[in-house]
Every structure is written in structure tokens, then in C-alpha cells.
Amino acid sequence: MAIRGKHILLGVCGGIAAYKSAYLTRLLVKAGARVQVVMTPDATHFITPLTLSTLSGNPVLVDYFDTATGTWNNHVHLALGADAIVVAPASANTLAKFAHGLCDNLLCAIYLSAKSPVFIAPAMDLDMWAHGSTQSNIKQLQSFGNRIIPPGTGELASGLSGEGRLAEPDDILQALTSFFSADLPLSGKKALVTAGPTWEAIDPVRYIGNHSSGKMGYALAAQLHRLGADVTLVSGPTNLDAPHGVHFVGVTSAAEMLDACLAYFDHSDITVMSAAVADYTPNAVADRKIKKTGDGLTLELVKTKDILATLGSRKRAGQLLIGFALETHDEQSHARAKLQQKNLDFIVLNSMRDEGAGFAGDTNKITIIDRQNQAETFTLKSKTEVAADICDRIMRMLKPSGG
């Protein structure tokens, strides 16, 4: 779903419709969103913070300063950390405050600091909703770029019937889903990315590994997500945080990475294999730490199963499979051979002879080689920029011919 992994800040205002915020929180969490609830003080009279904290999995925030924990709730950080702010229910009082820049509670301060899209779902009695002041405030809020999720019509808490009911939680979820899905070039596509090294155990405390930092793969996962793809990142051990919005699967060994890739590959439209997978693994793993005896240690190594070749043999029409090649000599000939042998759509070549490229650093220098043997070499760039170049090539390949 488009909102999986999104950081949603849910504002809850005082009003009987606040009870629906519990169901909305549950729907958002079920859809994979990370939900931070912020309540106005009046909202706590209608539904308890404990209820929404339990459903969201995060402490509910009400005040600038939490005297119980001594914590300052920084409204700027809260606003900037949200992919979207949703205020549901939004009372007439809060609508007026938002429209005129009043800032007497934490939710108002977050709203005034917001750079992400703001969705406002009003709820109030029909006469309050129809009043000229409220309608003027709604127009003002729309002029600021806020998105209004209009109230529904039906029975109201006052006993009257008419317009003013909070939009149903399912409709609010749909509004968010539609927003995050719209106009993104890879919307509706599923992507699988591998990153980092694999560690092949020798004994319970030692392993064979490599110097891969995972930075290139993580940058690719983040860029594919920004372009609208539903991304699964399978990563070996790194010190990096998973990109927001990306489904993360942590693995250690080459065998674990193979199993994870096989679980997701068949349903992926785009697969980018940037992990540095070990070519060999110990034939036997000691169940205890190997003690230092004698002058040397001999390990019998066996080949790991080739993940890229395995996926290439399963690739169906319409799937894109992209591999990486890190070479030290005869770079292009080795990369072209790998491209053909493993049934790739294109390969991304790194040369260890290029200064600033390869493992660990924040930059990379690549050459993309396609199945027509056309090679395009790029200048040294940040790995974020390199990820954008690779994704541009992916989008060109997905675009229908003549489109």
C-alpha cells in the first residue's frame, strides 16, 4: 500500500467524533504507516490517550512539556518528521485557529511548522458547519494548500441529521492512499533491492565478510520509494538505518539472503542486486569458538549459491533484473560476461581503480552496460545522485516504446 512506512502525524481535536480516531489509527497502522498521535487538551475528555497510544504503539502527545517524563515535545521536529499531517476530527475551534495562525497548543504549533501535506477532516454539528465563519475558515485553509476531507451527512450527536459528520475512517485512509499514489512514475510497481555484505560464520564469534557499507543499496531503495515504488530492502549487516517507507528484511549470510530474495522476487517488477554477497562460505561451522593452536588454521570453503544467476533463471517477461559488478581489471569484459551469463537487463560497473568509487565511501563512479552492449559512463557523484541515475535508466526501460 502507498502509505506503508509513511510517518503520519494524526491530530485529534475535542468532539464526540474523536472516538473514530481509534479506528482510524488502527487502519493506518494496519496499512503499515507509522503513526504519532497528538491530541488537543479538550480531546482527552472524549477518548483517552492510553487508547490511542496502545493502538499506535507510540506515546500520545498533548502538551509542549511532559512533566511526568521531563520531556520537551519539539513541535518543529514533530512537524518536519511527518510525511503527512492528518487532523481528524478537526473541530470548528481548531479550524479557526489554523486559519488565523493562533498557536495556543502543541497541535497548532505543529501545524504552523508543517512542510508536509496537511489533511483536515472537520466534524461538528450541521449549523456550526454551515455557519459563514466556518465556511470562510475552510476557504482560507484551502487557499494555504491544505486538503479538506469533507464531512459526511447523517445522524449527528445533537440528535439532528445533516452535514457535519466526520468522514468515515476508511474514506480518510483512501484519501491518503490516493495522495501518496498519485503522479509518481513508479506507482504500482514493486521493487526488490539487496544491499550490504554477507557474513559467513566460521564459529560463533568469527566470520568471513567484506568491506561493503550498504550505502549504495540503501540509496537505491530510498530513491525507488521516492519515485512511488513499493520497495523491499534485503540487507546484510550494516550500520545504516532503513530508509523511511521501505520494507526492511535483515539477513546475515548468503543463504539467508537467497531465501529472502526468493520470497519476494516473483512478485517484483524491479530487482536491483547491489549487495556484495560472499562467493564462498565455510563448509562446516564450528559450534564452539575455535581455539588458537599451532601455527595456522585451514578452512575448507565451498561456493555459495549464485543468487543473481538463480533469479536470472526465474525472470519472467516484464521483470527488470539489474546487477552490480565491482572489478579490479578488464572491467568491461568481465561485466559484459556477467550481464549475459546471469540474464540481466543491465549491469552497473564499478572499478576499484577509480578514485572515490567502490565500498565504504559516500561517492561512486559507475558505467551502465545494457543488453545491446551499449555503455554509458558517469562522472564521480554522491551515491544518492548515482541512485537517481540508475533509477532514471530503470524508468526509461519501463516506459512503453513510442511513449
Q: What is the pTM of this model?
A: 0.62
C-alpha cell at 68: 511526568
Q: Which residues are catalytic?
A: 210
Q: Quickly list DSSP for 78-142.
A: HHHT-SEEEEEEE-HHHHHHHHHT---SHHHHHHHH--S-EEEEE---HHHHHSHHHHHHHHHHH
64 is a domain residue: yes
243 is a domain residue: yes
Within this chain, do residues 128 and 243 fall inside the same structural domain, yes or no?
no
Is 378 labelled as part of a ligand binding site? no
In the chain, the amino acid numbered 200 is E
Please, what's the b/e burial string for 358-367 (b: 16 or more CB within 10 A of its CB; e: otherwise)? bbeeebbbbb
Within this chain, do residues 156 and 256 fall inside the same structural domain, yes or no?
no
2 is a domain residue: no
Within this chain, do residues 162 and 205 fall inside the same structural domain, yes or no?
no
Q: What are all long-range contacts of 224-227, with beta carbons under 8 Å and residues at least 24 apart?
A: 224/186, 224/191, 224/193, 224/270, 224/272, 224/391, 224/394, 225/5, 227/184, 227/185, 227/186, 227/391, 227/395
Q: CB count, 10 Å around CB of 384? A: 17
Within this chain, do residues 88 and 202 fall inside the same structural domain, yes or no?
no
Q: What is the pLDDT of residue 402?
A: 42
1 is a domain residue: no
**Do residues 290 and 206 make contact, with C-beta atoms less than 8 angstroms apart?**
yes
The alpha carbon of 172 is separated from its chain's Cα centroid by a whole number of angstroms, namely: 21
- Domain limit, last residue, from 128, 158, 181: 181
Which residue, chain included where needed, has cell 577509480? 354
Q: Half-sphere exposure of 312 toward its Cβ, with a 13 Å CA cutoff?
A: 18
Q: Quickly list DSSP for 302-344.
A: EEPP-HHHHHHHHPPTT-EEEEEEEESSSHHHHHHHHHHHTT-
Is 342 labelled as part of a ligand binding site? yes
Q: What is the pLDDT of residue 180?
A: 83
316 is a domain residue: yes
Within this chain, do residues 234 and 349 fall inside the same structural domain, yes or no?
yes
Q: Phi then psi for 68, rounded to 5 degrees?
A: -70, -40
359 is a domain residue: yes
Within this chain, do residues 115 and 238 fall inside the same structural domain, yes or no?
no
Q: Phi then psi for 24, rounded to 5 degrees?
A: -65, -45
Q: What is the pLDDT of residue 114?
A: 92
Within this chain, do residues 367 and 348 fall inside the same structural domain, yes or no?
yes
Within this chain, do residues 81 and 167 fall inside the same structural domain, yes or no?
yes
Within this chain, do residues 201 and 174 fall inside the same structural domain, yes or no?
no
C-alpha cell at 352: 576499484
Comparing CA positions, the residue from 350, 351, 352, 346 lying closest to residue 323 is 346
Whether the upstream peptide bond of residue 204 has omega within 30° of 0, thus cis, is no
Please give the chain's pLDDT, 403 residues, in tens: 578 889 999 999 999 999 999 999 999 999 999 999 999 999 999 999 999 999 999 999 999 887 777 778 889 889 988 999 999 999 999 999 999 999 999 999 999 999 889 999 999 999 999 999 999 999 999 989 899 999 988 887 778 778 889 999 999 998 898 888 766 889 889 999 999 999 999 999 999 999 899 999 999 998 998 888 889 999 999 999 888 668 899 999 999 999 999 999 999 999 999 999 999 999 999 999 998 887 888 899 999 999 999 999 999 999 999 999 887 788 888 999 999 999 999 999 987 776 666 666 788 899 999 999 899 999 999 999 999 999 999 999 987 644 4
Is 362 labelled as part of a ligand binding site? no
Q: Phi then psi for 54, rounded to 5 degrees?
A: -65, -40
- Domain limit, last residue, from 160, 181, 202: 181
403 is a domain residue: no
Within this chain, do residues 121 and 201 fall inside the same structural domain, yes or no?
no
Burial of 250 per CB tally in 10 Å (0-12, 13-18, 19+) = middle
Within this chain, do residues 199 and 305 fall inside the same structural domain, yes or no?
yes
What's the CATH number where 96 sits? 3.40.50.1950
- Domain limit, last residue, from 146, 181, 216: 181
Q: What is the pLDDT of residue 71?
A: 79
Task: Calculate the alpha carbon distances from 386 to 223, 380, 383 in Å.
Answer: 10, 9, 5
Task: Calculate the alpha carbon distances from 166 to 114, 117, 151 in Å.
Answer: 23, 19, 5
57 is a domain residue: yes
C-alpha cell at 170: 476508511
What's the CATH number where 388 sits? 3.40.50.10300
C-alpha cell at 271: 530487482
Is 180 labelled as part of a ligand binding site? no
Is 324 labelled as part of a ligand binding site? yes
For Cα atoms 39, 41, 47, give the angle at the middle one, nearest 5 degrees.
Answer: 60
* Partners of 12 in the β-ladder: 39
Sign for the pseudo-dihedral over CA of 185, 190, 196, 197: negative
Domain coverage including residue 41:
7-181
Task: Calculate the alpha carbon distances from 376 to 216, 217, 369 in Å.
Answer: 18, 20, 7
Within this chain, do residues 175 and 324 fall inside the same structural domain, yes or no?
no
Domain count, the chain: 2
Q: What is the pLDDT of residue 43?
A: 96
